[in-house]
Chains A and B, each alone.
Chain A
Amino acid sequence: MLMEVIAVSDVLLSVAGLRKYFPIKGGLLRRTVNHVKAVDDVSFSLREGETLGLVGESGCGKSTTGKVILRLLQADSGSVTFRGADLLSLKGEALRRARAGFQMIFQDPYASLDPHMTIESIVGEPLTARGIGGSERRRRVAEVLEAVGLDSSCRSRFPFEFSGGQRQRVGIARALAPEPSLIVADEPVSALDVSVQAQVLNLMVEARKRFGLSYLFISHDLSVVRYISNRVAVMYLGRIVEIGEVGVGPSDFFTTPLHPYSRALLASVPEPDPFRHRTRVVLPGDVPSQIDPPSGCSFHPRCAAAERICSEETPPLREHGRGHWVACHLA
C-alpha cells in the first residue's frame, strides 16, 4: 500500500495519448498523400529514480517517442507532463530554459559530438546555453568528467582522439552537465563493442544513483534492458503492447511475458549458453508497414493465436496483475 502511495506522488514524467505521424509527400505538387504512424496513442509514466526500458524492433517508434518527449520533434497530439508542467505547450525561451531538466544520450558516439569542438566546450555547451560560465562552468565540467571516468586532461582534446567508448562517456557527461532529472538514452550502448558496453552500462547505473536520475532507456537489446531497467515497455508498430516490471517474482516481465509478440521477442534473443533448452518461437513474416498497419491488433497477421476479434478491434492496454499491462484480446 505504502509503495503505491509513493509511486503515485512521485511521478516524474507522464505521457498520455502521444501521437506522431510523419507525412508522406507525393506527386508533382508535393501534397501529403499518406502518413507514417510512428507513434500512435502512446501512454506511460516514469517515477522519480526509475528506469523504464522502451524496447522494440527498428521502426516501432521507440526513438520517435523519446524525441517527441524531449521536444526534438513536434507531437501531433497527446500530452507530456514533466514535474507537473505541460512540456508540449512550452515555446521559445521558456522551452530552452526547461531543457536543462531533461537531457538525451545519443546512439552514435561519433556523429553526436561536433568534431570541431574540444571536449570542454562540448560538455560545457548546455551550461553556456544557460548563461553559466567562468569558474562555475569549469567546476561543473570537471565534476561530470570525473563522474564518467574521464581524466580532466582530456578537456582540451578533440573527439577524434577518443575511442567509441570514451566518446560515449563524453556524451553522457554532456547530458549530466545541466543537472537534469530525466535522461532519455537512445540505444546508448548498441554502437559499442561488447567489452566496452558493460563499462558504459555500469557508469550509467552509478550516475543514476549519484545524481538521482531517471532514465527512459530506449533499446532493441532485451538483455541490456533487463539489466538496467525497473520496468519495461514493449512497442510494436507505434503502440505499446505490454508494460511490465523487471525482477519481481512471478510478475516479472522476463519470466512471464503476456503478449505473444513479447514472447517471440524474448525467445529470439540468442543466449551465450549452448546448454539452455528453450522453446524456439520463430515469428513468421516481416514487420508490416507503418503506413497501413493491419486492422485491429496490428500484430495479428504474425500471431499464431490470433482469432477473429484480433483483426476487428484494437485491444486496449489493460492491467493484468499489479503493474503488468498488456494490449491483447487473448491475454
Chain B
Amino acid sequence: MRFLFRRWTALLGFLFIAVLLITAAAAPVITPVSPQAMNPAEKLSPPSGLYRFGTDNFGRDVFSRVVHGARTSLIGGGGVVLFATALGVLAGAAAGYFRRIEPYLMRLIDVMMAFPPLLLALVLVSILGRGMLNVVVAVGVTYLTRTARVVYALTLRIREEPYIEAAVAGGVSQAAIIARHVLPNMLSPIIVQATFTFAFSLLDLAALDFLGLGIPPAIPSWGNMLSEGRLYLTRAPWLLLFPGACIVLTVLSFNIAGDALRDRLDPRLSRSVEGV
C-alpha cells in the first residue's frame, strides 16, 4: 500500500518535471504572447478565456510570464547544479584522495557550511553584482559544499572497497582506478544529490529575486513575479498564486524524484527483504 503510494507520487513527480522541461523548451510556441508585451488597458484583470492566468499591473500576460519564467528557473537551477556538482566532486574527491590537503579543504568547507546558504548567497551577490551568471555562481557556491561533503565521504568509503584493492593487485594504474572504479560507483549518489541541489537552489534563486538581488526584473522569473505581485496581494491574488504554485510543485517534484532515484539506485535501500 505504502509502496504503491510512493510509486504514484514518484510517477507524478517525474511527469511534472517532463511537462516543465517541455514547457520551458517550447515556451514561444505555447504562448505566442510576449511576456514583455504591456497592455495597460487590461491591467490586473483576473484569469479569463483570453488571459488564462490573468494579467499583472502592467497588463502583461501572467500565463506567458509563468511559462517563460520556467525557462529562467530551469536554466538558473541547472546552472547551479552544474557549478556545484563539478566543483563539489572535484573538491570532495581531492580531499578524499590526497590526505595532505584533506584537513585544509574540509575545514574550509565546514566554515562555508556554517553560514546560512541564503545569507552567503546574498553576500556573494552583493559583491559580484546582479545578473544571471553571478546569481548562479553565488547560489552554486553554497551548494558545492554539500556535494563536496557527500563525495568526500563516498571517496573514503569506495577507496577501502576490496574491488579497489583487487584492481591495485591487478596492476591497474591510479588514474585508471579513479576513472573506472571510483567515479562510476559514485555516480548514482551524485545524481541524487544533484536533484536535491536543484530543488533547493530553485527556492534560493526565487528568494534572491524576491529580495530584488537576483535576476534583473526585466527577465521574467517566478521569483521576480512574486516580488512584484506581493503589492497586489489582495486585489490580484493570481499574481502570487500561479508563480508560487509553480515553485512549490517544481521543488516538490524534484524532491520526490530525488527520493525515488535514491531508492532505485541504492541497492541497500531497494532491497526490501533481507536475510532470507
Contacts and interface: CB of A to CB of B under 8 A. Distances in A.
A130 B170 CA distance: 9
Contacts of B32: none
B276 to A, nearest CB: 13
B173 A103 contact: no
- List the 7 shortest-distance A-B pairs measured between CB atoms, nearest first: A126-B170, A99-B171, A112-B162, A114-B163, A129-B171, A111-B162, A129-B172
Contact of B172 (A113, A125, A160): A125
Given A116-B184, A116-B185, A100 B171 contact: yes
B263 interface: no
Nearest to B181: A114
Provide the main secondary structure of the chain A interface: loop
Given A111-B161, A115-B185, A129 B170 contact: yes
Given A114-B185, A116-B185, A126 B165 contact: no
B163 A129 contact: no
A106 interface: yes
B163 A113 contact: yes
A70 B169 contact: yes
Contacts of B176: 129
B166 interface: yes
6 contacts: A72-B168, A100-B171, A111-B161, A128-B172, A129-B173, A171-B166
A188 interface: no
A174 B170 contact: yes
Interface in B76-101: none
Interface of B: 161-163, 165-173, 176, 180-181, 184-185, 267
Interface string A97-137: 10110011011100111111100000001101110000000
A113 B161 CA distance: 9
Contacts of B170: 99, 103, 125-126, 129, 174, 178
A96 B173 CA distance: 7
Nearest to A127: B170
Nearest to B188: A116
Interface string A56-77: 0000000000000010100000
A38 to B, nearest CB: 16
A108 B162 contact: yes
Contacts of B161: 111
A103 B166 CA distance: 9
A129 B165 CA distance: 14
Contacts of A125: 167, 170, 172, 180
A106 B162 contact: yes
Nearest to B166: A112
A93 to B, nearest CB: 9
Contact of B163 (A72, A96, A112, A160): A112
Contacts of B168: 72
Given A116-B184, A116-B185, A129-B176, A111 B171 contact: no
B161 to A, nearest CB: 6
A160 B162 CA distance: 16
Contacts of B181: 114
Interface string A170-189: 01001000100000000000
Contacts of B165: 72, 104, 106, 112
Contact of B169 (A104, A114, A116): A104
Nearest to B171: A99
A277 to B, nearest CB: 38
Given A115-B185, A116-B184, A106 B166 contact: yes
Contacts of B171: 96-97, 99-100, 126, 129-130, 178
Contacts of A103: 169-170
A36 to B, nearest CB: 17
Contacts of A97: 171
B162 to A, nearest CB: 4
Contacts of B184: 114, 116
A110 B173 CA distance: 23
Given A117-B180, A130-B171, 6 more contacts: A72-B165, A99-B169, A99-B171, A108-B162, A111-B163, A114-B181
A113 B180 CA distance: 13
B185 A104 contact: no
Contacts of A160: 267
A194 B176 CA distance: 37
Contacts of A108: 162
Contacts of A114: 163, 167, 180-181, 184-185
A181 to B, nearest CB: 15
Contacts of A115: 185, 267
A107 B166 CA distance: 11
Nearest to A113: B163
A84 B159 CA distance: 32
Contacts of B173: 96, 129
B70 to A, nearest CB: 35
A96 B175 CA distance: 13
Nearest to A106: B162
Interface centre among B161, B163, B168, B267 (most CB of A within 10 A): B163
Q: Most B CB atoms within 10 A — which of A114, A160, A174?
A: A114
B185 A72 contact: no
A214 B137 CA distance: 59
A128 B167 CA distance: 11
A171 B267 CA distance: 21
